[in-house]
Structure 1
Amino acid sequence: MRSIIVPLKIYPDEFQRLYEGNVKEVSARSIDGLRVRFPANILRSYVTHAGVIGTFAIHFSDENKFLSIEKID
Structure 2
Amino acid sequence: MAKIVLNVALSALKYEAMYAGVAKNLVASSVDGRKVQLPLSAFQRFVIHQGIHGFFEVEFDDSNKLINVTRVQ
TM-score range, shorter chain: over 0.9
Which residue is 2:58 aligned to? 58
Which residue is 1:46 aligned to? 46
Q: Give per-residue Cα distances to partners, 1:36-62, cap 9 Å, x unaligned.
A: 100010010000001000000000101
Which residue is 1:20 aligned to? 20
Alpha-carbon distance in 1 for matches of 2:19, 2:51: 11
After TM superposition, which residue ranges in structure 1, 4 or more long, deviate above 4 angstroms? none
Q: Is the contact made by 1:26 and 1:38 (CA closer than 8 Å) also made in structure 2?
A: yes
User: Gaps (5+ residues) in structure 1?
Assistant: none
Aligned CA-pair RMSD: 0.8
Q: Calculate the TM-score normalised by the size of structure 1.
A: 0.95
Which residue is 2:5 aligned to? 5
Q: Give per-residue Cα distances to partners, 1:15-54, cap 9 Å, x unaligned.
A: 0002332211110000000111000100100000010000
Q: How many residues align?
A: 73
Q: Calculate the TM-score normalised by the size of structure 2.
A: 0.95
Alpha-carbon distance in 1 for matches of 2:19, 2:62: 28
User: Gaps (5+ residues) in structure 2?
Assistant: none
Q: CA deviation at 1:2?
A: 1.0
